[in-house]
Structure 1
Amino acid sequence: MNSEPQCDVGVYRVWDLPVRLFHWINFLAVISLFFLGFVMLYKKELGISSLEAKIALKEVHVIIGYVFAANLLFRFVWAFAGNRFARWSAFLPHRGLAAEGRRYLQSLRRGEPEAWLGHNPLGRMAVAFLYLLLTIVAVTGLVRAGTDIYYPPFGALVQDYIAAEGVEPASLKPYDETGVDAGRLERMKAFKGPFGDIHLYTAWVLLAMLVVHIGAVILSDSREGGAIISAMFTGRKYLRGKPVDAADR
């Protein structure tokens, strides 16, 4: 891994502090959510059977999910205010991206990979897809937080909808049909089902993409240098020659 600057290596400030904080908060949140998700998914096999434990797991999952969603929202807001490597234009697809991708692949085949300060064309496509997956997981998770355990931002609306006539909505408890209108409860269950499926399957795709992402970063760092991994701690990349996207500096 070429992570130490040498005499012909330029030092470039790329990732600003907010982007680096987002990256590591997101990493910790996602790992925690996956762990809890696996526990919930295989709770029977793990010997977890009580309703209290089931609800507690979901509550912790949702609380960490709030951190995850708030962090993602912050990243999207920062895409309007950060440096050029943090902005929307740095990771959304643009005209000419396919041609850049072909050129980058050709450079890999030659054994002389192009150096990029920001994401290389393949990395750019992957990051855009990752943000899409993260957004889907966040939105569907918030919906299920409301329908499953009546947590914000949709929990109060769900309670208002399914409460039987004359019952105080706030008195309803998760997985307890006391005081619930049976017909509306069934409609709510039908509504929330697809959100749960999308949440689960998107999480599996996200997990696969994260494995690919980590592998690609390690491979790219070993082949191209640039200290890609340490750059997410220091914000600095070390590159030989002039990076393809250096003209915009």
Structure 2
Amino acid sequence: MRQGAMKSYYLFSPWLRIFHWIMVICTFILFFTGLYIGNPFFLGTQGIDPTFAVNNVMSMEVIRYIHFIAGYVLVASFIPRIYGFIINPGDRLLPRPWTKLYWTGIMDTQMHYMFMRGAHRPYLRNSLARSGYLSVYLMFIIMIITGFAMYYMIEPNRFLAKVFGPFNNWLVNEYVVHIIHHFVAWFIMLFVIVHVYMAIRADFVEKGGEISSMFSGVKYMEEEPEDLGDIVSPKSTAKQELR
């Protein structure tokens, strides 16, 4: 990183960063335990060694228990995410399709990623990334709804029956709910692959601390970002280095 040429911008609160890393851990646990629950033999024709199952080390019951715990932890992790959204402008960098900047940003970054432009204009978070993060939040909501709808069928209780039970009828039946849950899980993993690639690419090309920002909350840029107004009030005179 070119020291002295870069300005620091504090974006992400500790609450968002806590949510991010909990979400990362839970997503991988949920995905692989979910694959096993759906098909215990996905690891091969023999599946898990039966002796493990006998000793309850890798039994279906244990795997399901891990899956459910990870699901509850993921749901609970949205509490700090929502709190950060309320208190910190940098945690609210979601798409704003009613603005001109959103659409010009879409075209600008698309041209860059298609190698038709050497670089895109500076953004704290570009329009494509904003749209991607919103889409993954929506996918997590779908996973939570369909997950609890299926969970209610095996662990019925009054709260789950009232809140999530109707989805098994609204979405045709439990089998359709299961199919939706399964395919959305794969879409989330596809997002994860693209997200990791783009974060690493941004760090190498733009040198803005894209990866380290999820530890420090800070990004670095040479030029004033186009969307600086999303974290600084238009009336503020602080359009300078933010710490």
> How far off is 1:122 after superposition?
1.0
How many residues are paired up? 213
Is it true that 1:193 corresponds to 2:175 in the alignment?
A: yes
CA separation of 1:150 and 1:104: change in aligned 2, threshold 3 A: same
Q: Is the 8 A contact 2:149 2:164 kept in 1?
A: no
Match of 2:149 among 118, 130, 143: 143
Q: Return the letter of the residue paired with 1:224.
A: E
1:15-54 matches, cutoff 5 A: 15-44=12-41, 45=45, 46-47=47-48, 53-54=59-60
CA separation of 1:126 and 1:201: change in aligned 2, threshold 3 A: same
CA separation of 1:194 and 1:73: change in aligned 2, threshold 3 A: farther
Q: Deviations over 1:38-75 (max 9, x none)?
A: 22233144147879832332222111100011213542
1:6-155 matches, cutoff 5 A: 6-44=3-41, 45=45, 46-47=47-48, 53-76=59-82, 78-79=84-85, 81-87=86-92, 90-95=93-98, 96=100, 97-106=102-111, 109-117=116-124, 119-150=125-156, 153-154=159-160
Q: Is the 8 A contact 2:108 2:120 kept in 1?
A: no
* Helix, strand or coil at the partner of 1:237: strand
Counterpart-to-counterpart distance in 2, 1:196 and 1:7: 53
CA separation of 1:107 and 1:41: change in aligned 2, threshold 3 A: closer
Identity across the alignment (%)? 24
Q: Return the letter of the residue paired with 2:106.
A: G
Q: TM-score, normalised by structure 2?
A: 0.77
Q: TM-score, normalised by structure 1?
A: 0.75
Please name the residue that 1:239 is paired with.
Answer: 221
TM-align CA RMSD: 2.9
Counterpart-to-counterpart distance in 2, 1:55 and 1:241: 54
Of the two, which has the highest radius of gyration? 1
Is it true that 1:226 corresponds to 2:208 in the alignment?
A: yes
Question: Which ranges of structure 2 fall in alignment gaps of 5 or more residues?
Answer: 233-243
Counterpart-to-counterpart distance in 2, 1:231 and 1:77: 19
Q: Return the letter of the residue paired with 2:7.
A: G
Counterpart-to-counterpart distance in 2, 1:114 and 1:206: 28
Q: Return the letter of the residue paired with 2:70.
A: I
Q: Return the letter of the residue paired with 1:222.
A: F
